[in-house]
Every structure is written in structure tokens, then in C-alpha cells.
Amino acid sequence: MISAFSRLPGVGPKSAERFSYFLLRSGGEVAEELRASIQAALQSTKVCSQCFNLDEQDPCSICSDEGRDQQVMLVVEDPRDVTAFEESGFRGLYHVLQGRVSDLEGIGPEDLTIGPLFERLSRLRSSEVCLATSPDLEGEGTAQILAERLAERGLAVSRIARGIPAGSSITQVSKSILADALEGRRKLS
Ligand SMILES: [Zn+2]
């Protein structure tokens, strides 16, 4: 149990040990609730075949909503970023990269959903692609790689404005800051 918990992001061996002893001590009730909720979530959650967001349906509720503004596509790292931008009031389309380029973790551009992004863009009427990866080292690097590739294909590219504290992730900032960052996005090409 300890080694299983240790595989979760942000959980070190000490926390994993604490979780495990807590579950053992609590007589199975909490463990059962966890088991059931994890199983239910795994069964009901699908990866959207269009934008790679997580939802209970495929295509997800955003991709299948014809009222969304198709002009702007917001490219994010993680499905949690979609939730954050939704709360900030954005009503365009999304594309979830499923991560970011990271030399440290051995993740290259080919490991992300960049291929499907280009495929979608050739099909949709989006006139602008806004890069909303986190304003930290790896997020900026990922945005730069994408900006170059998108510009090669003659697409208008923008990047969310600074104002989001450097080094922080999208999911950590408030919706008003995200709304401002979107409003003040700057053109890259
Ligand atoms: Zn979708």
C-alpha cells in the first residue's frame, strides 16, 4: 500500500506511510469509500477523442457544444487547466496536450497530443491558437516549440499575458487572474 501511494504525484514515502496506517486504523470504512469512488470515476471518465479533455462523454461536453466560439483554441497542458479556464469565463475551444516538454522527465513534443492538434486545426475554423501552458520554464519551452510549428503553418498564435506569477501553474491561480491573462494575450505570429 505504501509503495502504491508513493506513486501518486507529490506524495513522498512519509505521507504514503501515514495514509496507509490511517486506512488500516480506520477499520476499512474510508478505504472502501476510496475504492468505490476511484472505481466509479475510472468507469465514468473518458478521454475526449477530439481535445483530450476528461469527461463523462466522448466527444466531451465542450467539443459537442455547437454554441462554443470556434475562432479561438486554447492549448493547455492538463484537463485541470480546462476547468480553471472554464471558471474564468472562456467560451472557445480547448486542446489538452497531456503534459509538457520536459528534458528532465524525458518527455518530447512527440509524446504530447501535437499531431492531433494540427489535424484538428486543419478541420476547424479556428483563426487563433492561444498557448496557455504554465508560465514556468517547461511551460514556456513547450509554448515556444508550439509557436514555431504553428507559425510554419501560417496560423495566428498568441500567448496568455504575464500576470500569472512566473513559476506557478495554471491551476494555482485565481479565475480573475486567468481572465485577465486571456484578455491581455499577446500575438506571437
Ligand atoms: Zn473535447
Domains of the chain: 2-44 (1.10.8), 67-187 (3.40.1360.10)
The percentage of the chain sitting over the pLDDT mark of 70, rounded to a whole number, equals: 97
- Picking from 159, 157, 177, the residue whose alpha carbon sits closest to that of residue 85 is 177
| CB of 60 closer than 8 Å to CB of 50 | yes
Backbone φ and ψ of 58, nearest 5°: -130, 120
- Picking from 88, 98, 82, 81, the residue whose alpha carbon sits closest to that of residue 142 is 98
24: which residues sit within 8 A by CB, 6+ positions away?
A: none
**What pLDDT does 171 receive?**
82
Cα(181) to centroid(ligand 1), Å: 23
CA distance 156 to 72: 10
**Residue of higher predicted confidence among 38 and 153:** 38
CA dihedral defined by 10, 178, 142, 138, rounded to 10 degrees?
A: -40
Cα(43) to centroid(ligand 1), Å: 18
Q: Would you report the helix, strand and coil content of the chain in percent, each value rounded to 5?
A: 45, 15, 40
Cα(60) to centroid(ligand 1), Å: 4
Cα(16) to centroid(ligand 1), Å: 34
Cα(63) to centroid(ligand 1), Å: 4
Cα(90) to centroid(ligand 1), Å: 15
- Picking from 82, 146, 139, 56, the residue whose alpha carbon sits closest to that of residue 109 is 146
CA 185 to chain centre: 18
Predicted TM-score of the model (pTM): 0.80
Cα(145) to centroid(ligand 1), Å: 23
The residues with which 72 forms a beta bridge, in sequence order, are 128
Cα(21) to centroid(ligand 1), Å: 39
**What pLDDT does 169 receive?**
78
CA distance 188 to 148: 9
Cα(94) to centroid(ligand 1), Å: 7
CA distance 183 to 162: 11
Q: Could you report the per-residue pLDDT of 43-99, keeping only the tens digit for each?
A: 999 999 999 999 999 999 999 999 999 999 999 999 999 999 999 999 999 999 999
CA distance 40 to 62: 22
Cα(124) to centroid(ligand 1), Å: 13
| CB of 58 closer than 8 Å to CB of 144 | no
Q: What band does 189 get if pLDDT is binned at 50, 70 and 90?
A: low
Does 119 have pLDDT greater than 80?
yes
Half-sphere exposure of 31 (CA within 13 A, CB side): 12
